[in-house]
Every structure is written in C-alpha cells, then in structure tokens.
C-alpha cells in the first residue's frame, strides 16, 4: 500500500542505556539524577549482556543517556571514556547509537561523532531567568552553554536532536525565542533532525512544586512551533506524557510527526510508562494515521557519516 507522507507518524524502536545516574546539576524538576558517588557506573560486560538480550527484539537505536560528571572533575575523562566505549560496543553488536549526555567539549563531540549516527541535547529554555529558579543549582543549564552545543554540532556536521521543556517557569514568548534560536542555528548548518516538545510531568522525586504543563495548550504550542521551525525539522512529542488519546491525536493534527524512542522505560520520566508500539498504532489508526519505525538518523543525513557507520545504516534501512 502506498502511504502519503501526510499521514505518517514515526517512532524509533529504541532501548536506553544509562552509564550513570549521578549528576552534578541539581535541576529541581529532575526525576533522574542521583548524587555524585551514589550511583555505580554501568560496566561494559553488563552492557554487553543487555545488548545480547536485545538482538532479536527489532531494537535499532541504543540511546546512551547519562547524568553529568563536572567538566573539571578528575573523573570526567573516565566518564567520557565509558560513554565512548558503550557507543562502540553498541555498533559492534549491530545497533545504532544516539548519545545525549549533557554539554560536551568540542573535542568530546568530535570523538563521539565517530561512534554515533546522531546526537542530542535539550535546550529546555534559553531564558536566563530560570537560573534563579529551577536551574539555580545547575551550572550546565546556562543558556550560552546549551546554545553553543547546537553551534558545535553544526560545525562538526553531527545530525542533532534538541527540544524544549514546557511548564518550568517560562513564558510563551520564552518558548518562541528558544524555537527561533533553533531555527536560526539550523539555517546556518542544516543539522537539526527533530525538536522535542516535552511537557513538564511531575514525578515522585523532584522538588519543583508545580502542576503539569496544561495538556490543552500543547497542540497550540505545536502549531506555533510548526510556524517558526523550517519544514525539514520534525516535531516530536513523547506519547507517554500525553495521557489522553484525543489529546495525542490533536497534537499530531497540529503538526507533531514523531513519537521518539519507544523503549521499555522512560528513564527521564520513570513515573510515566511508555505506551508500546501496538497500542500506539491502534490509537493512531483510529485517527487516520500510520505509525512507521525509523532509524535514529534521518535519510537526508546519511552522507554525513564516515566509515563503518555508513554500512551499518544501509543495512538497517533495508530492514525497516
């Protein structure tokens, strides 16, 4: 059956591997982090055993998601080495890695490009006023640090995913300015694959005392984002944070076309279980949409890859 691009919504068959939950940032809305020194690091043998179990489960993307070790910590080099080795192991075992581990140095990004098909970092919000509230104890959330990552990813020709966190104290105008900054960066480098619009969804660990982002506002934000962002950037929403089926369909009708990585657990929002592929497919079909799997690399970026990664991606393109 021929499918029109107008009625296709995509997702990535994914699994998240966490090298460590420890993080030197203390964002008050976080339900992921543990204190430095309180979270054992995942070793390569443990990761290999996980990946072996995934071999016949049609998982394509391995999302390497980590808490952050301070850039000036004596443990930073070991932390980065562990991330690099996990990416290399994932490639060796036939998967496609996508890394999102916080701000990196130019050299770190350059090295990880060799063992990733794409990378990512949420801008969240670029307004500096959040440094007085939810980001008061989060040095790596300085707006200039986050936006510099977009620039470096573009200069290094790394296919990139970024996004906004909604409902953490920003105004509507803050959102539009952050989206405009993404659009401007993309105009220079044409490197942004996706923009995630993630509604704040309270968890059991956070100290941030605020309600969830109003679900009725999300389609409106998506529609405005679709106006601001260029057409070749896909808007992604996390379906496990969109609890009502009609709301999910309204978000898609407003312009969202991707549901992100669908894996057994949302590590960032552990209180909100992922809807699995068959349930999502049923919901979307009821609204006239077709759910299709995708790789963590969009096709227009295939020629940005070097060496062995090209062959790995081609092999997966034949499978999906």
Angle at 50 between CA 46 and CA 54, to 5 degrees: 165
> In which residue are the tokens 């898609």 written?
252
What b/e readout covers 59-76, taking b as 16+ CB neighbours within 10 angstroms? bbbbbbbbbbbebeeeee
pLDDT number for residue 5:
61
Residues 20, 87: Cα–Cα separation, whole Å: 14
CB atoms closer than 10 angstroms to residue 308: 12
Tell which residue, 168, 214, 163, has the closest CA to residue 28. 168
Is there a contact between 269 and 238 (Cβ–Cβ < 8 Å)? yes
Residues of the chain with pLDDT under 50: 1-4
Q: What six digits make up the tokens of 249?
A: 């369909």
pLDDT number for residue 104:
98
Q: Which residues contact 29 (CB under 8 A, 6 or more apart)?
A: 134, 165, 168, 200, 202, 206, 208, 210
Is there a contact between 297 and 117 (Cβ–Cβ < 8 Å)? yes
Tell me the CATH number of domain 5-319, given options 3.90.1150.10, 3.20.20.70, 3.20.20.80, 3.40.50.2300. Answer: 3.20.20.70
pLDDT number for residue 265:
87
Residues 200, 210: Cα–Cα separation, whole Å: 9
Residues 135, 251: Cα–Cα separation, whole Å: 28
pLDDT number for residue 4:
47
Is there a contact between 280 and 249 (Cβ–Cβ < 8 Å)? no
């Amino acid at each position: 059956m021929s499918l029109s691009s107008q009625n296709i919504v995509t997702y990535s068959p994914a699994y998240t591997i966490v090298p460590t939950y420890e993080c030197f940032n203390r964002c008050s809305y976080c339900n992921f982090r543990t204190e430095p020194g309180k979270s054992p690091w995942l070793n390569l043998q443990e990761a290999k055993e996980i990946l072996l179990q995934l071999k016949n489960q049609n998982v394509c993307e391995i999302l390497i998601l980590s808490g952050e070790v301070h850039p000036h910590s004596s443990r930073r080099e070991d932390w980065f080495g562990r991330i690099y080795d996990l990416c290399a192991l994932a490639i060796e075992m036939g998967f496609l890695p996508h890394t999102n581990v916080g701000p990196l140095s130019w050299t770190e990004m350059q090295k990880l490009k060799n063992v990733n098909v794409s990378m990512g970092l949420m801008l969240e919000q670029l307004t500096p006023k959040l440094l007085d509230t939810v980001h008061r104890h989060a040095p790596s959330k300085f707006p200039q640090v986050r936006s510099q990552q977009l620039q470096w990813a573009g200069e290094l020709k790394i296919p990139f995913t970024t996004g906004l966190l909604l409902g953490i104290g920003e105004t509507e105008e803050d959102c539009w300015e952050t989206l405009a900054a993404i659009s401007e960066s993309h105009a220079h480098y044409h490197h942004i694959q996706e923009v995630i619009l993630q509604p704040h969804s309270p968890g059991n660990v956070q100290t941030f005392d605020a309600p969830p982002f109003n679900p009725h506002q999300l389609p409106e934000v998506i529609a405005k984002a679709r106006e601001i962002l260029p057409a070749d950037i896909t808007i992604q929403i996390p379906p496990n944070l969109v609890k009502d089926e009609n709301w999910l369909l309204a978000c898609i009708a407003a312009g969202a076309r991707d549901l992100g990585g669908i894996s057994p657990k949302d590590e960032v929002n552990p209180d909100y279980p992922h809807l699995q592929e068959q349930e999502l497919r049923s919901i979307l079909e009821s609204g006239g949409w077709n759910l299709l799997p995708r790789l963590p690399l969009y096709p227009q970026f295939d020629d940005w890859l070097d060496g062995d990664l090209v062959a790995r991606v081609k092999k997966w393109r034949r499978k999906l």
